[in-house]
Amino acid sequence: MMLQMKRLLPPIIMLFLLLLAWEVIVIVAKIPSYILPGPSAVFSILIQDGGSLYRALMVTLRICFSALALASLSAFSLAFLFAQSRLVERAFFPFAVILQVTPIIAIAPFLLIYLPTSDLAVIVCAAIVAFFPILANTLHGLISVDRGHLDLFRLYRASPWQILWKLRLPTALPEIMTGLRIAGGLSLIGAVAAEFVAGSAGVGSGLAWRLLEAGYRLEIPRMFAALFLLAATGVAIFGLSSLLSWLVLRRWHETPR
Amino acid sequence: MSNTPVELHNVGKVYANGIAALTDIQLHLNPAEIVAVVGPSGCGKSTLLRLIAGLEAPTTGRIAFTSTASAIGYIFQEPTLLPWATVEENIALPLKLKVPYGGEALTVAKALSMVDMTEFAGVYPRELSGGMKMRTAMARALVTNPKLLLLDEPFAAIDEIARFQLDDRLIALWQHRQFAAVFVTHSIFEAVYLAHRVVVMSKRPGRIIGEAVVEAAYPRSINFRTTQEYLACCAEVTELLRQEVS
């Protein structure tokens, strides 16, 4: 616990000092809040007028986690399939790469046209962004089995299913966790990018739209408040995925810290 | 066929890349016999074990087993313990897989006690020393009560004192379980200390160029390592190897 506190303290102190410096500069230079609001103005928006922002945050979170679930499910399934057959991997992996390298901003308009709802299009967009790191990491983990372990399983006549379940999957766990950590942040980025492109207003809109909306209205403190919530969400997702990784690997793996 | 646990008849192995690893290997193992295999580096000693274990198929010749009901035990150069499994779970692994052991398997508790690892049953491999990891690997190899144990330089990376202890433990286990064993090693001294017979292999492609019989009775203690008989046998094997290398 003390160790955790020691590790958390430096970034917290640094953040506090940066916010303090920002506030002092804004006050001393008398910068109007429609140009650059101080942190106090941003936090007062979050406290006094945060209702619509928090509702939008929930929408973004729902999109983000739905996308992460969709990306995980499809990436795990494909990785397991690829790990069983080099031929299937060679046939399909290039398409996964194409999906990864094509900018999501360019894909999003197509999804908005072809998918039945913009909500679904936004989820699929975010899932596409999050998909590749999970696929690449899981596949690499599944095929990077120690040769000695594989010999051991073959010696004891393990079935392909036993090799997959009892050897390949545990071997791949550290890399799966790395993939999930990267994909968690990317699903948020994908969700925000897709919301920008979808541009759907109303009660069902997410934080990205609220940020754009505040920009159109020149409500700069509100823009910063939305940005702060997005950044905090990203940090929370990273923290959650790191916690999951630690819980899964802490007993036997060297890396979790 | 005799009671021989395994017989190799004119066995040869050429890998897909054209490298001939073994040629014309004739080896018959007697029940409860320990045969040590020594030879120059890269002469195919490990390949020989992999062929016997069925991990590779011979290109030529035939490998015959008399005992099919009992699994082969294999101790690799590395302990090859699953890092996500405890000592107990690692030892239980062969029993959970498809290996046929004819209902003669030991209990995991028995295997643990045989290698003095009972108090570490719930510990993960990363918390064990090199010697303890190897003892766990020994227990895992013996839990199915195999009639044939294959050992591929298992103690090569272990310090001398722990290695002597592991040699003695292996002899104790052999006296108790009476398995036949093929022990591949770089160490002539270890080979002579452990084995009934030391087989010497040629450079690649490996073939058997001679053997030395070690008559000394078991159990062999540290004192055996200083006897004339031991030193003479080491000299005999050394001479065979020297001729091959020169």
Q: Give all domains of chain A, ordered by start, each with its CATH number.
A: 54-249 (1.10.3720.10)
Domain limit, last residue, from B146, B161, B189: B146
Q: Which pLDDT does position A257 carry in this prediction?
A: 55
Residues A194 and A17: beta-carbon distance below 8 Å: no
Report CB contact under 8 Å: A146, B126: no
Give the A:B interface size as CB pairs under 8 Å: 59
Please give the residue range of the domain that contains residue B8. Answer: 1-67+152-246
A197-206: long-range contacts, CB 8 A cutoff, minimum separation 24? A197/A105, A197/A108, A197/A109, A197/A112, A197/A125, A198/A108, A198/A112, A198/A118, A198/A121, A198/A122, A200/A118, A203/A55, A204/A59, A204/A119, A205/A56, A205/A59, A206/A56, A206/A57, A206/A59, A206/A60, A206/A63, A206/A122
Report CB contact under 8 Å: A159, B98: yes
Report CB contact under 8 Å: A167, B82: yes
Of A51, A155, A126, A219, nearest in space to B53 by CA: A155
Report CB contact under 8 Å: A149, B82: yes
Q: Check whether residue B45 and residue B102 sit in a common domain.
A: no
CA–CA dist B173, B143 (Å, integer)? 12
Q: What is the CATH number of the domain that holds B204?
A: 3.40.50.300
Report CB contact under 8 Å: B99, A254: no
Q: Which pLDDT does position A233 carry in this prediction?
A: 94
Residues in contact with B38: Cβ distance below 8 Å, sequence separation at least 6, in sequence order = B45, B184, B185, B186, B187, B188, B191, B198, B199, B200, B201, B237, B241
Q: What is the band of A4 on the pLDDT scale with cuts at 50, 70, 90?
A: confident
**Average pLDDT, integer, range A162-177:** 95
Q: Which residues of B touch A155 (CB under 8 A)?
A: 53-55, 71-72, 74, 99
Residue B115 falls within a domain, yes or no?
A: yes
The CA distance from B154 to the nearest CA of chain A, in Å, is 13
Q: Check CB contact of A154 with chain B, cutoff 8 Å.
A: yes
Residues in contact with A176: Cβ distance below 8 Å, sequence separation at least 6, in sequence order = A76, A134, A137, A138, A141
Least confident among A140-144, A240-244, B88-92, B220-224: B220-224
Q: What is the band of B69 on the pLDDT scale with cuts at 50, 70, 90?
A: very low
Number of domains composing chain B: 2
Q: Check whether residue B51 and residue B160 sit in a common domain.
A: yes
Could you tell me how far CA A226 lies from the centroid of its own chain?
17
Q: What are phi and psi of A124, to 5 degrees?
A: -65, -40
Q: Check whether residue B99 and residue B32 sit in a common domain.
A: no
Residue of B nearest to A170 (CA): B84
Q: What is the pLDDT of residues B207-228, one digit of tens each?
A: 999 999 999 998 888 889 999 9
Residue B7 falls within a domain, yes or no?
A: yes
CA–CA dist B51, B10 (Å, integer)? 13
Mutant choice from B70, B75, B80, B88 vs A, greatest count of A C-beta within 10 A: B80
Q: Check CB contact of B11 with chain A, cutoff 8 Å.
A: no
Radius of gyration of chain A measured on its C-alpha atoms: 22
Report CB contact under 8 Å: A152, B124: no
CA–CA dist A139, A143 (Å, integer)? 6
Mutant choice from B49, B52, B82, B150 vs A, greatest count of A C-beta within 10 A: B82
Is the model's pLDDT at A201 over the cut of 70? no
Of A107, A127, A102, A98, nearest in space to A197 by CA: A107
Q: Check whether residue B166 and residue B235 sit in a common domain.
A: yes
The CA distance from B229 to the nearest CA of chain A, in Å, is 37
Residue B76 falls within a domain, yes or no?
A: no
Q: What single-letter amino acid sits at A109?
A: P
Tell me, what's the ipTM?
Answer: 0.90
Domain limit, last residue, from B96, B113, B146: B146
Residues A255 and A246: beta-carbon distance below 8 Å: no
The CA distance from B101 to the nearest CA of chain A, in Å, is 10
Place of tokens 């007993």: A251
Q: Check whether residue B157 and residue B223 sit in a common domain.
A: yes
The CA distance from B80 to the nearest CA of chain A, in Å, is 6
Residue B56 falls within a domain, yes or no?
A: yes
**Average pLDDT, integer, range B175-179:** 90
Q: What is the pLDDT of residues B3-51, one digit of tens each?
A: 568 899 999 999 999 999 999 999 999 989 999 999 998 899 999 999 9
Average pLDDT, chain A: 91
Q: Check whether residue B47 and residue B157 sit in a common domain.
A: yes
Could you tell me how far CA A44 lies from the centroid of its own chain?
28
Q: Check whether residue B167 and residue B141 sit in a common domain.
A: no
Q: Check whether residue B106 and residue B167 sit in a common domain.
A: no
CA–CA dist B30, B33 (Å, integer)? 5
Q: What are phi and psi of B17, to 5 degrees?
A: -85, 5
Q: Check whether residue B177 and residue B123 sit in a common domain.
A: no
**Average pLDDT, integer, range B148-157:** 92
Residue B205 falls within a domain, yes or no?
A: yes
